[in-house]
Amino acid sequence: AQSVSQHNHHVILSEAASLELGCNYSYGGTVNLFWYVQYPGQHLQLLLKYFSGDPLVKGIKGFEAEFIKSKFSFNLRKPSVQWSDTAEYFCAVNVKAAGNKLTFGGGTRVLVKP
């Protein structure tokens, strides 16, 4: 069965610092990749997605992610975080051969100190 690993459970950083969250998955076939974010008290929102094409994808709020097929990775980055980026971030993978279901990583809680 496929699995998704997020390397950090908790990240604490100051405003204006750069953020990178790691995500690796364990399936070798065709995948769709996603990052979701859950702000405090809110529901899961799609941050960005990769289906095909340019492996560097840009999402909302200045986030981007890079798909590196050889490393089975889809890391999320933001050059300069804001206090409002405090949230929990989830990497998710859809294995095309297995239908529409998403397999999620364990989530990373990010706290940005003002």
Partner 1 sequence: EAGVTQFPSHSVIEKGQTVTLRCDPISGHDNLYWYRRVMGKEIKFLLHFVKESKQDESGMPNNRFLAERTGGTYSTLKVQPAELEDSGVYFCASSRPGQGAYEQYFGPGTRLTVT
Q: What is the distance between the alpha carbons of residues 107 and 101, in angstroms, rounded to a whole number?
A: 17
2 near partner 1 (CB under 8 A)? no
3-state secondary structure of 19: strand
Q: What is the distance between the alpha carbons of residues 43 and 113, in angstroms, rounded to a whole number?
A: 22
Shortest CB 67 distance to partner 1, Å: 15
- Chain positions 14 to 53 lying near partner 1, rule: CB under 8 A, are 32, 36, 42-46, 49, 51
106 near partner 1 (CB under 8 A)? yes
Nearest alpha carbon to residue 113 among 79, 84, 78, 77: 84
Q: DSSP code of 58?
A: E
Binding mask 73-102 for partner 1 (x = CB under 8 A): -----------------x-x-x----xxxx
Site residues (vs partner 1, CB under 8 A) = 4, 32, 36, 42-46, 49, 51, 90, 92, 94, 99-107
